[in-house]
């Protein structure tokens, strides 16, 4: 008698839910299938969902740089130029219009 394991851990959704299901079901739910593991306790769904680098602690998504990174990223040179022109014109107007007095900055 030979038994074949067809269900494995699958990470589903933004909350990192782990279910033991088949590969076909995992693909249908658009999850991340773990062929090498057999239990949900052997995988870290939050790490796979958040991507980039790993976490300092497995249970806490502590990638603080993700809050700062979009500030410096641009889709290209044209996007960067449009952003700089917007900041130099529109935002400087609002800053001067709503400032209380000189020396605020």
What does R_g of the chain's alpha carbons equal in angstroms?
Answer: 23
pTM: 0.48
Quote the pLDDT of residue 19. Answer: 92
- Work out the average pLDDT over 84-97: 81
Q: Tell whether the model's pLDDT for residue 14 goes beyond 80.
A: no
CA distances from 6 to 12, 19, 32, 37, 97 (A): 18, 13, 15, 11, 65
Q: What angle do CA 19, 24, 27 make, to 5 degrees?
A: 75
Quote the pLDDT of residue 55. Answer: 61
């Amino acid at each position: 008698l030979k038994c074949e394991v067809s269900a494995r851990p699958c990470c589903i959704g933004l909350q990192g839910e782990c279910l033991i299901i088949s590969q076909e079901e995992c693909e249908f739910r658009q999850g991340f299938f773990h062929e090498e593991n057999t239990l949900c306790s052997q995988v870290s769904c939050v790490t796979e969902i958040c991507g980039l680098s790993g976490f300092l602690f497995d249970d806490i998504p502590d990638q603080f740089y993700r809050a700062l990174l979009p500030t410096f990223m641009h889709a290209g040179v044209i996007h960067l130029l449009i952003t700089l022109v917007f900041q130099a014109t529109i935002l400087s107007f609002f800053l001067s219009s709503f400032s209380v007095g000189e020396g605020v900055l």
